[in-house]
Amino acid sequence: MLLLYVESGAGSRALALALANSFRQQGEQVELMSVSELLPPWLSDILFGQYYEWCMSGKQHHSKLYASRWFYPFLYRLLPMWLAFKGNNKLSEAKAVLRRHNKVVACSYYGAFFARYFARLAGHEIEISGVLGDYQISNGWRTPLTRLFISHQYDHPVLDWHRARGTRILPLGIPTEGSQGVTISPKTAVQACGSRLSVLLCGGGWGLGISASTVALLLTQAQFGKVTVICGQNVALYEQLKTRFSNDIAQQRLALTGFVSDMQSFYAQADIIITKAGGLTLTEAALTNTCLIIHGALPGQEQHNRAVFVAQGAALNAECEQELSELLSRLQTSAELRRQTAMQAASLVNAKASQQICHHLLASSK
C-alpha cells in the first residue's frame, strides 16, 4: 500500500505518518512518499514551493482562486499538457512506484490526482482512497476515488459529486499520532480560578500567525505562569523572539522551541492553546481536552476549520490582540468556560480514527 502526502505544511505528512504507524501495527507493509518525489522539481516548486512562499510572506491573493469551483478542474486538465510540453525526468520512476502497489491512500488531493495520472500512464490499475485532514472538503478533491474518509458528517457539493460517482464516504474522523495505541492522558480536572495557567502558542509546522506583539501580550497578562511558543520551521521567528525576550527566557517565564514532530506532550501540559486553525492541530489539541483559542486562519480550509469549531463551541475565536486579551481574562476567571470549550472540542474528534480507517482499508482488501 502506498501512502502519498504533500509538503504544503506539516498536516498532510502527519496524516500519512499516523496511518503508516497504524498499518504497521497491523503487520501491513506500507510505503510512505511525498508527491514531490514523483514530480520534476519545476512542477513541485510551482505547486508547493510557491504556496510556502505565499504563506510565509502573508500573501492571500491566491485564496479566491483556490476556492473557485472551476480552478481545479481546469488545473487537472492543464497538468498533463504541461508535463508533456515541459517534460518529466521522473516519469519512469513515478510509474515504477505506482506499479509496486494496487492501493493508494492519498492524504492530499494532489496525491489522489497524480496517483491516478501516473498509474494510467503505467497501464496499471489501482484503487485510490482519500483521507482529509480538515473539517470541510476542498474543491481539489474533485478527482475519482473509491472511498473518502472525512472528519464528520456534513454536506458539501464536492461530496455530492463523489456520491453521484459511487464513492463511498466514511466520516471516521481525522487520524493523528495520538490515536496510535499510545494513551493520551486527558485533563481530568481544570485548574481553579486564580491559579496560574500555562499557555501554549503555536502556528503549525511553519510557525505562522505568531508575532512578537502576541508573545509580549501573553507575558504581560499577570495571571499566566509559563508561556511556551512553538516556532516550527520558522527560524527567523525563533531568532527574533529569542533576542527580544531573552530576559523572560532566562527567568523561565517563556520557553521557545523550533519544529516539534510530536506535539502531544506540549498540548497535554497546556491549560490554554492559542493556535491558527490547522485541521491536525485542532484535532490533536482536542484529544487532550485542552481549551482552544483560534488566533488566525489561512484562507480556505483553515477558515472552514475555524467556523466548525467556533460554531460548535469547541474553540474561542480572537480576531485581534484586543479580543485575545479579553478572552484570556475571561478564561482565567472561568474554569467552567475552559472546561466546556474543551469538552465540546473533544466531542468533535475521534481518538480511534487511525485504527478505524486502517481496519476498514484492510478489510476491503480481503
How much is the pLDDT for 207? 82
Report residue 90 as a C-alpha cell. 521522473
How much is the pLDDT for 161? 97
State whether the Cα torsion 184-190-196-197 is positive or negative.
Answer: positive
Q: How far is CA 256 from CA 199, 244, 245, in A?
A: 12, 12, 10
Residue 3 φ then ψ, to 5°: -110, 120
Q: Are 264 and 284 in contact (CB under 8 A)?
A: yes
Interstrand relation of 197-202 and 254-257 (parallel, antiparallel or unpaired): unpaired
Q: Please name every residue paired with 255 in a beta bridge, in sequence order, or none if there are none.
A: 228
Amino acid in the structure at residue 8: S
Helix 71-86 crosses helix 109-121 at what angle (to 10 degrees)? 40
How much is the pLDDT for 110? 96
Single out the residue of 76, 83, 115, 84 nearest to residue 99, CA to CA: 115
How much is the pLDDT for 6? 92
Q: pLDDT (tens digit, 9 = 90+) per residue, 87-143?
A: 899 999 999 999 999 999 999 999 999 999 999 999 999 999 999 999 999 999 999
Q: Are 126 and 115 in contact (CB under 8 A)?
A: yes
Q: pLDDT (tens digit, 9 = 90+) per residue, 141-154?
A: 999 999 999 999 99
How much is the pLDDT for 49? 74
Q: pLDDT (tens digit, 9 = 90+) per residue, 31-71?
A: 999 999 999 999 998 888 766 665 666 556 566 776 778 88
Count Cα atoms within 13 angstroms, Cβ side, for 249: 14
Q: Are 178 and 264 in contact (CB under 8 A)?
A: yes
Q: pLDDT (tens digit, 9 = 90+) per residue, 257-283?
A: 998 877 888 998 899 999 999 999 999
Confidence of residue 180 (pLDDT cuts 50, 70, 90): very low
How much is the pLDDT for 52? 61
Q: Taking all residues of the chain, what is their mean pLDDT, rounded to a whole number?
A: 89
What integer is the mean pLDDT of 356-360?
A: 95
Report residue 112 as a C-alpha cell. 489522489
Report residue 358 as a C-alpha cell. 486502517
How much is the pLDDT for 8? 73
Q: pLDDT (tens digit, 9 = 90+) per residue, 283-304?
A: 999 999 999 999 988 888 899 9
Q: pLDDT (tens digit, 9 = 90+) per residue, 320-352?
A: 999 999 999 999 889 999 999 999 999 999 999
